[in-house]
Amino acid sequence: MENLKNRRSLGHTGIMVSPIGLGCWQFSKQKNMAGKFWPTLEDSQIEKIVSLSLTAGINWFDTAEVYGDGESEKALSRALKTSGRNPGEVIVATKWWPAFRFASNIAKTIDQRIKLLDPYPIDLYQVHQPWSFSRETAEMAQMTELINKKLIKAVGVSNFNARKMENAWKALQKSNIPLASNQVRYSLLDRKIESNGVMDLAKRLGVTIIAYSPLAQGLVTGKFHDKPELLKNIGFRRYNPQFSREGLEKSRPVVNLVKDLAARYNVTPSQVALNWIIQYHGDTVVAIPGATKESHVNENCGAMSFSLSAEDMARLDKASSIFK
């Protein structure tokens, strides 16, 4: 069985990442609509979260242009500098926001991404959504130019369905560039990529799946099932049907099994859920849980310190198959 602390290649790029990275949406400082999802974190807290992540075995960080209009990128760079890490010692992934833009905007905005993340190079540059005014083939042509100019090291996509993912892969293949990754929502309570062709295609093409929202916005831990009063303060999550009374009842059998396994392995429910994600599909899936507290970092990284048995992973697979 694989040592879950070993690093894995992002697709066929040779960029080696820890099975768990840190999602940095929460560093948005409440700027723009995307940033309103999270409370404002002080710089000192962000620096603690990043430093502890590095100490605990995480070597890569995922941010995006739309996370506070660059505030997250800026905060990440500042925290990495404070941690004493030099360029090349950490892996940085960010994303281009495509809404109401053409593919040509990728080249027009790359200097801003580089400036905000300075001095850390962009190891993985991703198209954040399949929503631009241009086709994915045009976007990949722009990404190829950035690779050729050595402005980025690898290309990924996010929220792409199987057809668009394959189109992106084919476009890059013309220049012998691998498609590194597809960043998608994936958890024990959202397994749609296993039924819509994305997971199967990723395995066939050698594309890494980067799982965001791997704890289903905290739902898989059982805290909302145990204390429904917490639902009064869940912000935007109140619009998610999984947080309704019916939704909670549907996920309860999975949550109960996660909690039972957590007790047996002497770990937390979130660690069980994360361990399943980074282990069940071999090295195809890596996860990027967020963290707003140091305790979240310890929990996230602790998911790499043990291995669920094949039998227990199969039990989780069966229990959560209704969410495929």
Q: Tell me what the pLDDT averaged over the chain comes to.
A: 94
Which pTM does this prediction carry?
A: 0.96
Residue type, 290: G
Token output for 237: 């999550």
In angstroms, the CA 55 to CA 75 distance is 18
User: What CATH topology corresponds to 8-216+268-307?
Assistant: TIM Barrel (3.20.20)
Q: Can you name the residues that pair with 20 across neighbouring β-strands?
A: 287
Residue of higher predicted confidence among 243 and 273: 273
In angstroms, the CA 231 to CA 227 distance is 8
Q: What is the pLDDT of residue 314?
A: 98
Confidence label for 307 from pLDDT (cuts 50, 70 and 90): very high
Residue of higher predicted confidence among 205 and 37: 205
Long-range contacts of 138-142 (CB under 8 A, 24+ apart): 138/102, 138/103, 139/98, 139/103, 139/106, 139/168, 140/168, 140/171, 140/172, 141/103, 141/171, 142/103, 142/104, 142/106, 142/107
Arithmetic mean of pLDDT, 154-174: 98
Q: What is the pLDDT of residue 33?
A: 67
Catalytic residue IDs: 67
SS (H, E, C) 101-125: CCCCHHHHHHHHHHHHHCCCCEEEE
Q: What is the pLDDT of residue 108?
A: 98
Arithmetic mean of pLDDT, 154-161: 98
Q: Which of 178-182, 242-246, 253-257, 277-281 has the lowest mean pLDDT?
A: 242-246
| % of the chain at pLDDT higher than 90 | 85
Q: What is the pLDDT of residue 89?
A: 97
Confidence label for 218 from pLDDT (cuts 50, 70 and 90): confident
Residue type, 33: M
Token output for 8: 């894995």
Arithmetic mean of pLDDT, 59-83: 97
Helix or strand or coil: residue 321? helix
Q: pLDDT digit string (tens) for 252-297? A: 999 999 999 999 999 999 999 999 999 999 999 999 999 999 999 9
Token output for 248: 């909670």
Q: Could you tell me which of 269, 228, 273, 264 has the C-alpha nearest to residue 248? A: 228
The answer for residues whose C-beta is within 8 angstroms of residue 297's C-beta and 6 or more apart is 22, 49, 52, 53, 56, 58, 291
Q: 1 pLDDT exceeds 60?
A: no
Q: What is the DSSP track for 203-232? A: HHHTPEEEEESTTGGGGGGTHHHH-GGGGG
